[in-house]
């Protein structure tokens, strides 16, 4: 039975409608005849909500939306059964475009600039987070910051979360991630380069440095859990007293779009189901890997997740 959608809230400040298509051969200066486009709701937190829905857990997606594309985004989410809170804005929600060259298998991704948010629109988002009831157990803050939104905004979001006893899961990058970690979060999902930047190491770190550097953040009270994304090599779960390397199962890869968001969805699903952290991280790797098996902006299929998660449980010692 799906959990109450108020248990999990996802926040996406730069949502999009993702349009994907394919064409046989991409060459300059030619009119290219593409396949019929596929439209899907997109943006970090929105994709996490979509992934959770595929796993059988509901959530509430919070995001700004404006113009015809914003309306289309809401309709797409409604069609998928996603509970949502759209904050109206004057700008038009962005579109992204992905095209696959079927002759080479190469994928070309075109990301449009985020839609600026005014100070009053940002305040509307904060007001909703301050008053929404019942209070969710987790807030997942995922994706990039749009123009007009300073990293300080995320610090305000975190203060609201702490005041309401909410655990925050952060999946962003650059100054936004830095500011969130400085304010303190429950869980982060950086790659090696992002983790290096968070601890001021400079450059990408070696795998042997991963756990010590993650524990520098944990020991300083910046976060409680680090799930370091290692791409095709899987992930590494680090807490104060736990280190677990989780390999990614070998699968045919068609697209990496949404793989990171799928991993977060799997982790959050595991947490709300009360699984041990090791199992939640394995489920995250299974979801992220399953997402790479599908073309364009499509996320994972649950049957693939179940199969890959079973493989991980068989390949690794039982979790404590």
**Could you tell me which residues come within 8 angstroms of residue 150 by beta carbon, excluding any fewer than 6 positions away?**
none
Q: Is 29 a catalytic residue?
A: no
Q: Each residue of 42-77: b (16+ CB within 10 Å) or e? A: bbbbbbbbbbbbbbebbbbbbbbbbeebbebbbebb
Question: β-pairing, 187-188 with 38-42?
Answer: unpaired
Q: Each residue of 242-263: b (16+ CB within 10 Å) or e? A: eebbbbbbeeeebbebbbbbbb
Point out the catalytic residue in the list 4, 261, 304, 306.
Answer: 261
Cβ count near 296 (within 10 Å): 21
State how far the Cα of 283 lies from the Cα of 266, in Å rounded to an integer. 5
State how far the Cα of 4 lies from the Cα of 133, in Å rounded to an integer. 12
State how far the Cα of 41 lies from the Cα of 74, in Å rounded to an integer. 8
* Catalytic positions: 261
């Amino acid at each position: 039975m799906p959990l109450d959608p108020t248990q999990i809230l996802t926040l996406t400040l730069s949502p999009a409608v993702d349009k994907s298509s394919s064409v046989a051969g991409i060459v300059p200066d030619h009119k290219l005849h593409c396949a019929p486009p596929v439209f899907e709701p997109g943006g970090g937190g929105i994709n996490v909500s979509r992934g959770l829905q595929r796993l059988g857990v509901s959530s509430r997606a919070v995001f700004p939306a404006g113009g015809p594309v914003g309306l289309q985004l809401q309709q797409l989410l409604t069609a998928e059964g996603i509970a949502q809170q759209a904050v109206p804005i004057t700008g038009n929600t962005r579109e992204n475009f992905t095209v696959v060259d079927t002759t080479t298998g190469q994928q070309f991704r075109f990301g449009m600039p985020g839609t600026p948010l005014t100070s009053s629109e940002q305040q509307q988002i904060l007001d909703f987070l301050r008053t929404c009831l019942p209070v969710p157990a987790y807030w997942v803050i995922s994706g990039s910051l749009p123009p007009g939104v300073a990293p300080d905004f995320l610090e305000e979001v975190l203060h609201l979360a702490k005041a309401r006893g909410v655990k925050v899961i952060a999946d962003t990058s650059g100054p936004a991630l830095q500011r969130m970690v400085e304010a303190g979060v429950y869980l982060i999902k950086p790659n090696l380069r992002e983790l290096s930047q968070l601890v001021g190491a400079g450059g990408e770190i070696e795998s042997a440095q991963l756990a010590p550097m993650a524990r520098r953040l944990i020991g300083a009270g910046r976060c409680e859990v680090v799930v370091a994304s290692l791409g095709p090599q899987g992930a590494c779960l680090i807490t104060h007293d736990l280190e677990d390397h989780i390999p990614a199962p070998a699968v045919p890869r068609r697209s990496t779009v949404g793989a990171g968001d799928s991993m977060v969805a799997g982790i959050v699903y595991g947490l709300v189901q009360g699984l041990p952290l090791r199992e939640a991280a394995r489920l995250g790797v299974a979801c992220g890997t399953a997402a790479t098996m599908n073309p364009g902006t499509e996320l994972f299929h649950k049957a693939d997740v179940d199969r890959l998660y079973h493989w991980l449980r068989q390949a690794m010692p039982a979790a404590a």
